[in-house]
A and B are shown apart, each in its own frame.
Chain A
Amino acid sequence: MTAIPAPTAIAETLKRRSGPTPTAVVPPGAKRFGVARTLRYLLLLFFLLAILIPVYVLVVTSFKGVGEASPARAWAWPHVWTLVNWQAAWTTLSPAILRTVQMVVPAAIISSFLGSMNGFVLSRWRFPKANLVFTLILFGMFIPYQAVMIPLLQLMLGLNVPSGIPSLIILHVIYGIPITTLIFRNYYESVPVELIEAARVDGAGMLRTYASIVLPISIPSFVVVLIWQFTSAWNDFLFAVFFSSSQNGPVTIALNNFANGALLQNYGSSMAGALLASAPTLLVYILLGRYFIGGLMSGSVKG
């Protein structure tokens, strides 16, 4: 039973094993491995194509005009490539995309700092029942938010927090605390104790140790947590549907309403809208995939 390794360290373990070369693992003189190998690649390729089916549909349909929406041409390449759908989707969704940026950036930054402070304290400060406190915080990550939604609506109303982006920033920060605490705590557990003890010998208190030693070495974890919080807040629909409307809400709400409206006439514009709404998280995944995987792993590998 080991602790969860540092996120980036796990991302490294996903990389191909170094060490013995492939031939050393395969028993010598086995011709049938050629067949097995071909079969393996065929399977890999089959799954790859299956996963890309929805992507094909999204892209191709988004460039089709209304006239090509007939079932018979459902899977066909567009006769005429048009940007009409993209223009319609952009006009409708761009204000919501801007609002989502305004929501996600502060939410991700604030909850990262909270998570880092908690993680540091919980990994280095042995107070009675520290494990219990950590487990109680962690449970907050798994609860169905439906179990707090009704009083939460009343509380936010009572506190006069404006519906829309301000409410959602607060909620993403608060309900992001468990996961960000978990990722940072596991990272700090892996930091050599000597590093922090050295600071203490130098007479630095906990706050100064945190600011001058811990924060600078936390940058890899900050990247992981920021990406994780960015992605989950960007993709959130549940809080958005309860705490905002299509006038003041994030892009998931706007996209859902847009797709419902476009349902009858034209799938093309909904597909373009879905691609637009996914572009930021997909871009992050493509550019920073290593850290994205790190976030996934550290949210899970336990026991």
Chain B
Amino acid sequence: MLVSVRQRRRVSQWGPPLLLISPSLILVGVFVYGLIGVNVATSLTDEHTSAQSTGRAPVEFVGLKNYVNLLYSPAFQHSLRNLVLYTGVFLLSALLLGFVWAWLLDKPAVGEGIFRSVYLFPMAVSFVASGVVWRWLLNSNQGASASGLNRLFEMLGLGFMQNPWWNNPNWGIAAIALPAVWQLSGYVMALFLAGFRGIPDEQREAARIDGASEWKLYRHVIFPQLSPVALSAVIIIGHMSLKAFDLIMSISKPANYQTKVPAVDMFTLKSTYDYANAAAVGTILLLIVAVLVVPYLVRTARAEKNR
């Protein structure tokens, strides 16, 4: 009797929340963690052909061979180098522009709403749609046949700034970061603006009354309080940048060697049924993103616990 009452109470305590949350837990468990596991397993095999992917030929375990081959191949090293370059340009420019815009808009300004909305609107557009116009803007033709930004530079008397954009074999990927900066600097601005406005006016005034210079005010009062926001921005923009795919597919196309990154390689490998290498590239990307994101998530979880 007693046991059954306790059991019933336990069911009524645990039952409803479990009922609400378990569909999601199962889905996330299978589709995120389960599939990551299967993907790692696939990356350790020799599944390189369509016959193997449809089960018409045997698949052998080969250990870390695919990873070693990838990391030693100049083509994949080129992708990794491009990823670093792209992320560097994208992250630094978006943080800088976002901060400057927020700083300019922090003080009361007439028409603030309009500026803010325009700065932020590219975020609502898909990378594919913005790729259509940026492909035109970043046209590599110069001189008489120049169109896009190169033509604009010439019209403004800035002809020396003309360049081949994403057709540059070494730095082409940096040009693809431009549309990404265009789309996401407004997001960073919104983050910083919320940060600026979370700082009470009294603190600024107190610092000013104490005779602090404008620089000292920023150095000792404003910047420290903005650092959590800056960290969020680095994580958000950083992880988006490491997954760069859509813009490259839309502007320079996957077959373009000079602008390829790991996510594009993964697509190309999948298209040729080289599932093992595609899975290995996916795992490498996951590891890179995890290095950035996991410490941040752990730190946030700890902070919440101590609340």
Contact = CB atoms under 8 A, between A and B. Distances in A.
Contacts of A57: 133, 136-137
A241 B267 contact: yes
A190 interface: no
B125 A278 contact: yes
Given A181-B24, A277-B129, A148 B124 contact: no
Given A13-B197, A146-B266, A146-B281, A256 B128 contact: yes
Interface string A1-29: 11100000010011011011010010100
A301 B296 CA distance: 12
A205 B11 CA distance: 12
B282 A148 contact: yes
A191 interface: no
A138 B228 CA distance: 18
A27 B279 CA distance: 61
A12 to B, nearest CB: 10
A71 B266 CA distance: 36
B21 A122 contact: yes
Secondary structure type dominating chain A contacts: helix
B305 A131 contact: yes
Contacts of A278: 124-126, 129
A283 to B, nearest CB: 9
B31 A174 contact: yes
A192 interface: no
Contacts of B60: none
B20 A118 contact: yes
A145 B152 CA distance: 38
Interface in B15-38: 16-17, 19-21, 23-25, 27-28, 31-33, 35-36, 38
A140 B101 contact: no
Interface string A282-298: 10110001001100110
A163 interface: no
Contacts of A131: 301, 304-305
Contacts of B129: 252, 255, 274-275, 277-278
Interface residues of B, number: 117
A171 B266 CA distance: 19
B249 A241 contact: yes
- Choose among A13, A57, A136, A151 the residue with the greatest number of B CB atoms under 10 Å from its CB: A151
B170 interface: no
A296 B190 CA distance: 9
Nearest to B242: A144
Contacts of A297: 190-191, 194
A303 B205 contact: no
Interface string B124-154: 1111111111111100010011111001100
Nearest to A138: B297
A237 B264 CA distance: 13
A289 B148 CA distance: 30
Interface stretch (B63-71, B74-82, B102-110, B157-165): B102-110
- Choose among B120, B126, B146 the residue with the greatest number of A CB atoms under 10 Å from its CB: B126
A270 B20 CA distance: 45
A164 B128 CA distance: 18
A303 B279 CA distance: 33
Nearest to B293: A142
Contact of A282 (B31, B121, B131): B121
A303 B232 contact: yes
19 contacts: A13-B197, A17-B108, A17-B201, A22-B107, A40-B104, A71-B144, A120-B20, A137-B24, A138-B297, A143-B289, A144-B243, A149-B270, A150-B279, A151-B38, A256-B131, A259-B131, A267-B136, A303-B232, A303-B300
Interface of B: 12, 14, 16-17, 19-21, 23-25, 27-28, 31-33, 35-36, 38-39, 42, 53, 97, 100-101, 104-105, 107-109, 112, 114-137, 141, 144-148, 151-152, 155, 182, 186-187, 190-191, 193-194, 197-198, 201, 204-205, 208, 228-229, 231-233, 236, 239, 242-243, 245-246, 249-250, 253, 262-263, 266-267, 270, 275, 278-279, 281-283, 285-286, 289, 293-294, 296-301, 303-307
Given A72-B144, A147-B283, 10 more contacts: A14-B190, A25-B205, A54-B137, A71-B144, A125-B17, A252-B126, A255-B129, A259-B132, A271-B132, A278-B124
